[in-house]
Amino acid sequence: MTTIGLAGSGELASFVARQLAKSHIVRVLDTNNGSLNCDGAEPVDNATDLAKDADLVVLCIDSDEVREALLRSPDWLKAGSAKNRVLIDMSQGDPDDTRSLAKDLSEVGITFVDAPLHTENTEEAPDATAIFFGGSETVLQSVRSVLEAVCPKVIHCGEAGSGHAMRLVVAAIAACNRLITYECAAMGARNGLTIADMAVVLNKSSGYNSASARVLPALTANTQTANVTLGGWANDLRKASALGMRYGAPMLIATMARSTLDAASNRLGESVSVDRLAQIWELDSGLPAPGAG
Amino acid sequence: MRVGYIGLGAMGGALARHLIGKFPLSVFDLNRKAVDAFVELGATAAATPAELARNSEVVLLCLPRSSDVEAVLFGADGVAQGLSSGKIVVDQTSGVPAQTREFARQLEEVGVPLFDAPVSGAMATAIAGTISIIASGPHKAFQTALPVLQSISPNVFHCGERVGNGQTMKTVNNMMNVSCRLATLEVVAMGRKFGLPLEVMTEAINATTARNYTSQGMLPAIAQGRKSTKFWLALQVKDIHQAIGLAAEQRVPMPIGGAARSILQIGLNSLGKDAELEQMIGVIESMADTKFVDAATNVKSLEAK
């Protein structure tokens, strides 16, 4: 049985650990004091112990600083044997940094690949959930079964860095879907439409998007659609926006989405679910909150 | 039930065709060729909107704008002159809800209910008879006219008793469609600049919560070198102006809708009044200085066709 060392933090890392622990021996290094929860995984105290005897090492860290500290000083990885030097980054990094890191790490015998996971709700996975792999086809084949243990949908996007770039594309459009849905639904509601009618009609018409399909019925039923955080989304959109600037892509709407998410994160807090964005539109549009009668 | 249809343009003509052979049908349009085509199929040409209304129990209209509806209803030889109590007017125009409510109020004074029933969907769905019809207004009149609407498409929704709600719903739908379309295209353009292939991005987007009507329809069409829309850009801009107007009336902020409107306006100003919505693909490409499909891939796609 493959032994996997997972360094991570937050709900996404906990989800990855739980999925892997169903079919693998998993050791976990909590990089943020108690935010990584997984029954059945063996906790370790430091990165060196994590890498020792691990067949694969996986990063899924929601702090850019912690992730970069581990990647920029990779001596801890040398605790493993030569064949164990595959490092899979399931966090969200900057695609160009990932390209550059993959090159640097290859010079010290470490194969670094990116395989970030996109989901809005780990409790609903694998629905609308996918892993975007950046690295060679050969490496993908060698780790595919591990990745599929986390999520059956694995898409090969190109060389190292491509997985991170793809996830930013997906995250930006997913965020736009949701923000557009709130904005348009607020306009409809203020003009006399019910959310229930919009949930039916828009999702059978050309306005359909993944957010309208989930969010509008949930607003009517006062239920949740997501357990990813506003802070996480804002961070993704900052990276997407930076990539757009670097490559000369205007991204007028996605850049506005970045600003909106940062503002919402500042108003409501980084750790709240993206479902709470509904509150922003209710307040800013003068709508009554759901259930307020 | 005797039915009359006014406005045989691209959309109105496609909708009215479904009524031929199912109801005694009178038609009116300023375009004589369009009328003649319907007469050849068995419809009766009315000399004026008033004559059409005299000969019909249900009068449907599908015109470019609410101002056109007002002229056809209340102008010289207008529909109102041929109406009498018990008849029904159905407005399929993508009109302004408040103006449509005012038309309904005026006709109510002579005992004629008017409700709105705009359509939402691609031209292909109008022709196929599967387009969404989004109605609102007095329930009794809606139920009476429902067999007529269901002959056009079985996908009929009723969004409450308030006249104009259907047009509001269509406006919301248009805004969501356009905003998601432009957001998707501009982000995919960024992905192209990084070097991600369009086909792989399309697969990734459609596998996740990024999916939307554009990712499922337009992105595969671009990859295959075919068109996926048939709509005038100027009309799309008109629709979006209407959405922004509805938001402003109710003091609802629409920052993304405003950005989408501006991008469309740039496209219309750059391409000219005869541009089609499909040409916005090229506008987004040029704004990002990239191509969604590599020239070599495009040649292969055309050869395969």
Instruction: Note the residue count of chain A.
Output: 293
Question: For residue B209, which residues of chain A lie inside 8 Å, CB to CB?
Answer: 118-120, 128, 170, 174, 177, 210-211, 214
- Whether residues B180 and A174 touch (CB distance < 8 A) is answered with no
Determine contact, residues B26/B4, Cβ cutoff 8 Å: yes
- Using the structure block, give the residue that is written with the tokens 């976990």: A28
Cis upstream peptide for B97 (omega within 30°): no
H helices of chain B, in order, are 10-17, 32-40, 49-54, 66-74, 97-108, 123-128, 139-152, 165-194, 198-206, 213-224, 233-249, 255-271, 280-288, 295-304
- Nearest by Cα to A32 from A81, A75, A65, A77: A65
ipTM (interface predicted TM): 0.96
Query: For position A229, what pLDDT does the model report?
Result: 96
- Whether pLDDT at B283 is above 80: yes
- Whether residues B253 and A285 touch (CB distance < 8 A) is answered with yes
The Cα-based distances of A161 to A31, A278, B47, B123 in angstroms read: 23, 33, 68, 41
- Using the structure block, give the residue that is written with the tokens 């890392």: A13
* Residue B220 pLDDT level (bands cut at 50, 70, 90): very high
What number is the average pLDDT over the span B189-201? Answer: 98
B165 and A CB contact within 8 Å? yes
Candidates A147, A194, A253: best to mutate against B (most CBs of B within 10 A) is A253
- Whether residues B204 and A132 touch (CB distance < 8 A) is answered with yes
> B103-132 in b/e burial notation, b at 16+ Cβ within 10 A?
bbeebeeeebbbbbbbbbbbeebbeebebb
Query: For position B38, what pLDDT does the model report?
Result: 98
> B209-247 in b/e burial notation, b at 16+ Cβ within 10 A?
bbbbbbbbebbbbbbebeebbeebbbbbbebbebbbebb
From A254, which residue of chain B is nearest by alpha-carbon distance? B183
Pick left, alpha or beta for residue B281 (phi over 0 → left; psi -120 to 50 → alpha; otherwise beta): alpha
Determine contact, residues A135/A159, Cβ cutoff 8 Å: yes
What number is the average pLDDT over the span B100-112? Answer: 97
Measure in Å the smallest separation between the Cα of A218 and chain B Cα atoms: 15
B131 and A CB contact within 8 Å? no
State the Cα–Cα distance between residues B264 and B233, nearest whole angstrom. Answer: 8
- Whether residues B200 and A158 touch (CB distance < 8 A) is answered with yes
* Residue B292 pLDDT level (bands cut at 50, 70, 90): very high
Query: For position A293, what pLDDT does the model report?
Result: 38
* Residue B92 pLDDT level (bands cut at 50, 70, 90): very high
- Whether residues A201 and B211 touch (CB distance < 8 A) is answered with no
Query: For position B305, what pLDDT does the model report?
Result: 45
A250 vs B303, which has greater pLDDT? Answer: A250
- Whether residues B187 and A128 touch (CB distance < 8 A) is answered with no
Query: For position A287, what pLDDT does the model report?
Result: 92
- Using the structure block, give the residue that is written with the tokens 């085509």: B37
Question: For residue A251, which residues of chain B lie inside 8 Å, CB to CB?
Answer: 186-187, 189-190
Query: For position A84, what pLDDT does the model report?
Result: 52
Query: For position A34, what pLDDT does the model report?
Result: 83
Measure in Å the smallest separation between the Cα of B217 and chain A Cα atoms: 10
- Whether residues B209 and A120 touch (CB distance < 8 A) is answered with yes
Measure in Å the smallest separation between the Cα of B171 and chain A Cα atoms: 8
- Whether residues A198 and B120 touch (CB distance < 8 A) is answered with no
- Whether residues A177 and B155 touch (CB distance < 8 A) is answered with no
- Whether pLDDT at B301 is above 60: no
Residues of chain A with pLDDT under 70: 80-84, 289-293
- Count of pairs with CB atoms under 8 A, one residue in A, one in B: 255
Candidates B134, B156, B187: best to mutate against A (most CBs of A within 10 A) is B187
Question: For residue A133, which residues of chain B lie inside 8 Å, CB to CB?
Answer: none
Contacts of A128 (CB under 8 A, 6+ apart): A119, A120, A210, B207, B208, B209, B211
State the Cα–Cα distance between residues B6 and B196, nearest whole angstrom. Answer: 49
Query: For position B123, what pLDDT does the model report?
Result: 84
